[in-house]
Chain A
Amino acid sequence: MKEALRCFLRWLFLTVWRPARIREGDRLLRQLSEAAHAVPSKHDDPEYSERFLRALFTGTYARGQLHGRMGATACQGGRGRSTVAQLDALVEAWLDALTIDCPVSRGADLRDLLRRFALELAEQVSGAVLDDRAVQEIGVQLATSLHIDQVSFRRTIELLTPFLQAVTSADGFEAGEGAGDSVPRWIGVLAEVVEGYTAGTRDRALGEQAEIVEALSNARAKHWRALVDDADRFEKLLTSSPVAMGLLDTSGRVIEANEALAAALNRPLPAVRGTDLTLYLGGEAHALIAEHMFAAILGGKRSGSIPAVPLAATGLEQPKWMRLLWAMPARYGERIRVVLEDVTEHHLTQRWLEHKATHDHVSGLPNRRYLEQRLDHLLSGAPGTGTVGIYAIRLDGLVGIAETFGRIAGADALRALTARATQAAASTDLLAQLDPTTFAVVVIRPESWVIASNMIRRLVERLADPLPVTDGTAVCITPTVGAAHGVPGRTTVHELMHSLGRSLLPVAAHDRTTVVETTRRDRDQERNQLLAELPAALGRGEVTILHAPIARADTGHIVGAHAIPSWTHPGRRTIPVTELINLATAVGLSAPVVPWCLDRALADAMAWRATLGGLAPFLRVDLPARCTVDKVLVDEIFAVLDKHRFPASRLQLAVWESSIIDPYGEPRREIIQLTSRGVRLYLNDLGAGVGRFDLLPRLYLQGVTIAARLTAELERTPAQSGPTTLKAMIDWGTHLKVDVDLRDINDEYQRDLACRYGATNIQGHVVGDPQTPADLEQLINDAHRRPCAAAGG
């Protein structure tokens, strides 16, 4: 039994498992072989082969010369070397370049750092998407961590250029051969390095200025400290010193003071004596300062200083900041020596430098450094203090503005976009600028999280609006949004920023700037001007109602009139204002458009009832898109019906899906009020703007109107599939047992098709264009007489 099992296992091994394993090995080795065949060789190039052979035959390809040349041209072109060899050579040459003139210590750490930089750059050149932030960071580190000067940076660029070129060539992407890239990737990478170095240099310069200012201030503080500590010298200089000095008792009262102190406090010298000095210091915080000062003294500390306190003296032209130094030696008993040094200039310079270092110099928004400091503070809080969210809005196309219209226009555009962003994101916790083309919005508070998505949507819409650049030209940028969130105590700033950067990477930035067509801009301008004029035009009676006849599809009899408002603008052509009214409703224009239209249309309809009697058509009125059927509207409709005593059953309201379905996806209760009164509801745009087919049976509809673009399927040369969608929509309406209306029926062929498919009513050119009430009345009369005449004949 055991032997049989062993035989079976051996058979299993030899016939099933081992062949399968060898097949896998075959596959891997075949893959290896194919990869070896796919790697290109320079010797495959006939030209190179010819040159190589010629060099061999003529003796110019001597081995020693070869290696000597390669060694000499370590990174100057690097042709004929492997990329790894070039990397090593680059690092060595880079190390030399940096350590010749710069105070950089040459060591293993620096070599490793440069190697890491080189690998990162190579990866960015070869990667699918350029992570510009990572590349800029290399430039920043070159400037701030390594402190390399301009000469060394120039050498760095000279070294990096051939290396990145070689990496590009090794990857099979020669210049201009990238996927749609007109500029080779390595140029972009180098440009990012330069940009990062520039930003880093600026930071470095600001940091050095701050250090110089601080050092000067410290030197002066040391000087005055020595004076305060030296009692004899202090006594000698007390009266003659140009710096404010004085002697106080332990309660802070001035016992003796010099002219400079009196001048600083803007009071005469006698008035200064006997007053409490702390009342002049620190503004509202004087008590705190006094407490700090005297607690230090009483606590055994014989001297101390406060770097900068505001001076609260009255009558000063500008606020002053003073440094307060004091000392209380035993020889003078209870008297305290005090020096007040004016540090206003130093304080303002420090604040200016701090602002410059933490804010973008073009937009004035807080920069990445400030943002990271703030996020670090937030994320280092106790766990459970609330999620920190950050949205990055990259402005694709902003670089294109600077390239197309110049740097000044680019800076102006950024300022304009900043103003928009500040306005749109006013309720955010922090708006900052990550880099020259990316804004960042930080969300911290719970109330900010509630409105975050709406705020970002609004922000994106505002940023995407056309931006006037020069006279007559406007451009559109494309905002791209990335997001990341961190939890205090669990996420670091680095992780958060990395996550944010990765969220933007999948969408490659494009720097194409979309120039808005002038005609479109003009059209928008005209439309907005007309919208502003609309309320006045309604009052002046320039807007009139035209009626488009509605006919039965099977008989062709005119049974209804579709009221279409039209604006006869003085000096312009007649303007159809349906879209304008939609816009007015969308922006919340308070003009009473709907009641006005209803009132006019019902007046016409009542006139027809008087003249045409039983032939009078029903009336259909469009509700504007985004106009909600609410109680106010229902009351207005009922009021107009009552005013004209018009039978509600002869009024058809053409509504949109969003008008009769509430935000929770349920039918509005007001439609029951309307339909119970007898008003008929027609749903517009079936097939295009209707998504809740499941709700249609619950909407108390009289009929539906098929979307106009589906009617276009009724062409003489239909597509191969035929008007299947239109047919399906008509079938759907028939299934619901509601009327199905088609608009834009322009010829007999389309009418026949509509009739054949089962449409109930039609309107369009074949029935009649929009016309005045009198013309429509005439049309109905003519249509009625014609069959009678035909019957009589």
Chain B
Amino acid sequence: MTDVPRGAGTPPPANYEEEFTHAYRALKPFLHRYVLVRYCRFQADVADEIVSDIFFKAWHHWHEVRLIPDPIPWFLTTAKNAAIDYWRRKNKDIPVEPNESDVVLVSRAADADTRLELLNSLEAMGTLPERMRDALAQWCAGWTQQEIAEVMSLKETTISEYVKKARDRVARSVGRSRTRKRGRHRARQAEPPHHRENRPDREDQS
């Protein structure tokens, strides 16, 4: 007998597990990519753990979630909470800045230049406002602007503006002065974190 979480004392329908399985299979790739970009800086194992956590919560609240016409916002909110929980357990904030471990352990498949650009792009993403970052992460996870607008309950023009501004900012941070960023990135690796945090970013000021 399966341990089905009961909700409101109503017996589960016959296709209770099938529904969940269907939702799990449909959403897991998107959620993995979203969490990967948005909350764990491409640490695949962390993303896996957070995704497992999301579906764990989803299963325990499935009697409610299954009734929501569009459950995606619920999953995104849960993803955010699961990520915060995860990093809180590690006594850390959600990582924004690249750290030494990322550089050493994450994303070895790419060549050095691509990897550096990737890290710089992630760093630039970290400087974006919260909603803009959400929109961009979903865009990177493979959704169209229309889908993002539906999920975030915003106008498509707003999302379009978000994405455009985000592209602009990322390009300004990374693309325009890629070479200089590389030098600064290396220099930052050698500096203590507090120094890095206290130093004003000249480029951002401009």
Q: Chain A: residues with CB nearer than 8 A to chain B?
A: 18, 21-29, 31-33, 35-44, 49, 52-53, 56-59, 61, 63, 66-67, 80-85, 87-88, 119, 122-123, 126, 167, 170-172
Contacts and interface: CB of A to CB of B under 8 A. Distances in A.
B115 to A, nearest CB: 9
Contacts of B168: 18, 21-22, 25
Nearest to B60: A63
B46 A27 contact: no
Interface of B: 2-4, 17, 20-21, 24-25, 28-29, 32-33, 36-37, 40, 42-49, 51-53, 55-56, 59, 89-90, 100-102, 104-110, 114, 117-118, 121-122, 125, 136, 139-142, 164, 166-172, 174-176
B191 to A, nearest CB: 16
A170 B105 contact: yes
A87 B104 CA distance: 11
A57 B2 contact: yes
Nearest to A52: B52
Contacts of A39: 32-33, 36, 42, 44, 47, 107
Contacts of B169: 25
A243 B107 CA distance: 73
A31 B59 CA distance: 34
A177 to B, nearest CB: 14
B49 A172 contact: no
A63 B4 contact: no
B113 to A, nearest CB: 11
A175 B90 CA distance: 30
Given A27-B175, A31-B117, A122 B48 contact: no
B36 A22 contact: no
A33 B125 CA distance: 13
A33 B142 contact: yes
A21 B166 CA distance: 12
Contact of B140 (A33, A38, A63): A33
A119 B100 contact: yes
B105 A167 contact: yes
23 contacts: A22-B164, A22-B171, A25-B169, A28-B174, A29-B139, A31-B121, A35-B107, A36-B42, A39-B44, A40-B44, A41-B44, A43-B51, A52-B52, A53-B24, A58-B2, A59-B2, A59-B3, A61-B52, A63-B53, A81-B49, A84-B106, A87-B101, A119-B101
A82 B140 contact: no
A636 B114 CA distance: 71
A167 B44 CA distance: 12
In this complex, the member of B4, B170, B172 whose beta carbon has the largest number of chain A beta carbons within 10 angstroms is B170
B175 A43 contact: no
Contacts of A56: 20, 55-56, 59
A43 B54 CA distance: 12
* Interface SS of chain B: helix
A722 to B, nearest CB: 44
B38 to A, nearest CB: 10
A40 B139 CA distance: 19
Nearest to A18: B168
Contacts of A57: 2-4, 17, 59
Contact of A80 (B17, B48, B170): B48
Q: Which residue among A27, A29, A40, A67 has the maximum number of chain B CB atoms within 10 Å of its CB?
A: A29
B48 A63 contact: no
B24 A32 contact: no
B100 to A, nearest CB: 7
Nearest to A34: B140
Q: Which 9 pairs of residues, A with B, have the shortest CB-CB distance?
A: A25-B171, A59-B3, A24-B175, A25-B167, A82-B45, A82-B46, A33-B140, A41-B32, A24-B171
A28 B109 contact: no
A33 B136 CA distance: 10
Nearest to B53: A63
Contacts of A63: 53, 56
A56 B60 CA distance: 9
A67 B44 contact: no
Contacts of A67: 89
A21 B122 CA distance: 17
A492 to B, nearest CB: 19
Contact of A35 (B43, B59, B105, B118): B118
Contacts of B32: 39, 41, 43-44
B36 A36 contact: yes
Given A28-B175, A53-B24, A37 B2 contact: no
Contact of A36 (B21, B141, B166): B141
Contacts of A26: 167
A145 to B, nearest CB: 22
Contacts of A172: 108-109
Contacts of B37: 32, 36
Contacts of A119: 100-101, 104-105
Given A22-B167, A41-B28, A80-B49, A32 B122 contact: yes
A199 B107 CA distance: 35
Contacts of B100: 119
A110 to B, nearest CB: 18
A135 to B, nearest CB: 15
A28 B170 contact: yes
B25 A29 contact: no
Nearest to B42: A39
